[in-house]
Amino acid sequence: MKRVKNVTVLAGVFLAFLYGVSPVRASGESYRILHIMSYHSPWEWTDDQFKGFQEALKGLNVEYKVLQMDTKRRSTKAWKEKVSREARGLIDTWRPDLVYTNDDNAQEYVARFYVNREIPFVFSAVNADPDAYGFVGSRNVTGVLEQEHAVETVRFLREIVPSVKTIAVIVDDDPTWTGVIQRMKQRFSMELPDIRITQWDVIRTFKAYRERIKEYQDQVDALGLLGIHTFKGENGRNVPWQEVLQWTAENSSLPDFSFWKDRIMYGTLCAVYVSGYQQGLAAGKIAREILVEGKPPSECPIRSTKKGQPVLSLARARMLGIPVKSSILLTAKVVPTFAWEK
């Protein structure tokens, strides 16, 4: 029986070789899976996807290697191209049985180079149209789309604050948001005709963000805080998103929303969020079909996870002076305090 080996390599690309070889099955068969994260760990969104993926493959003899592209904290094109070369070099030398890629940068900078090649790829949490990466009709790439619960989130916001009619939506310059905005525009026009998005604002610096937030205070009823990860500070580096949200909570009197649970812990009022765990679990089930059942990726349809969970920052509601109905408190996940107060 093979002994478990745990190897961790931290280089300039935050390459992590994790977990290792589990006991050999009676058949002697084992699998090598390379997981390429667009972002980094520890981070709940990224980690939950990997946990779900591993859960779906529980009981199999799997050796994992994990490469963290770290493209939220280091978002320059030069960095993305550098880590892309590292990832592709690892694929070509280690020759995994399957590559699991999550979020859009891993698709743009890695997976699309392997379309219709030998190694199967399974993705999760992809916001863009998969055709943008050449995945539609591919014989070796499939996975799970992250279809954000945009309409459901705004409806939840209006349960909390019924007077909301005008919204400014803020994104950073990450290409992820192109697909998100397109879907929001399509769905809002059909399903939320009484809501008006007055701004689809692309912001690149933290200074510009602070200025715009102050301007919005008497212009709109609410804010959609979507892309907040790549705002540049005065030193040219990305300002941590937690700092962005804490500043917002302390300086804005407008109710706000996003589509991710971790944002609520740092002061955003509400969301109906996509579960990272469910995204990874669905991707892992596809990987199991490919590895264990021998099913070709082309016969595993690209899908999306459907269920959303409402979550509310009670601390933010109190700060804004918003009374929250008991029916909301009983049905939503409630975050009672700000993360920075713990």
Please name the amino acid found at residue 298: S
Long-range contacts, stretch 125-132, CB < 8 angstroms, 24+ apart:
125/45, 125/49, 125/274, 125/276, 125/279, 127/103, 127/176, 127/177, 127/179, 127/180, 128/104, 128/175, 128/176, 128/178, 128/179, 129/179, 130/302, 132/179
pLDDT band at residue 128, thresholds of 50, 70 and 90?
confident
The confidence score (pLDDT) of residue 274 equals: 86
Task: With a cut of 70, say whether residue 25 has pLDDT above it.
Answer: no
Answer yes or no: are the C-beta atoms of 268 and 316 closer than 8 Å. yes
Alpha carbon 312 to its chain centroid, in Å, reads 19
Q: pLDDT above 90 covers what percent of the chain?
A: 82
Please state, in angstroms and rounded to a whole number, the distance separating the CA atoms of residues 227 and 38.
15
Res. 1 pLDDT band, cuts 50 70 90:
very low
The residue assigned the tokens 């610096």 is: 205
The predicted structure's pLDDT at residue 342 = 72
- The overall pTM is greater than 0.75: no
pLDDT above 80 (res 14):
no
Distance CA 43, CA 159 (A): 30
Task: Determine the average pLDDT of the residues in 234-242.
Answer: 94
Mean pLDDT score of the chain, rounded to an integer? 90
Residue 283 has pLDDT above 70, yes or no: yes
CA 125: distance to chain centroid?
A: 6
Residues 33-47, mean pLDDT to the nearest whole number: 95
pLDDT digits (tens, 9 = 90+) for 76-112: 999 999 999 999 999 999 999 999 999 999 999 999 9
For residue 142, pLDDT beyond 70:
yes
Determine the Cα–Cα distance for residues 117 and 138; give it in Å rounded to an integer. Answer: 9
Confidence (pLDDT) at 213: 98
Q: Which secondary-structure segment (H or E) carries 215?
A: helix 206-216
Q: pLDDT at position 127, please? A: 85
Domains of the chain: 15-146+275-304 (3.40.50.2300), 150-274+308-341 (3.40.50.2300)
What pLDDT is stored for residue 275 in this prediction? 87
The pLDDT, as a whole number, for residue 250 is: 97
Q: What is the pLDDT of residues 185-224, one digit of tens each?
A: 999 999 999 999 999 999 999 999 999 999 999 999 999 9
**Rounded to an integer, what distance in angstroms lies between the CA atom of residue 238 and that of residue 259?**
21
Phi/psi at 67 (nearest 5 deg)?
-115, 125
Quick check: 265 and 253 in contact, CB under 8 A?
no
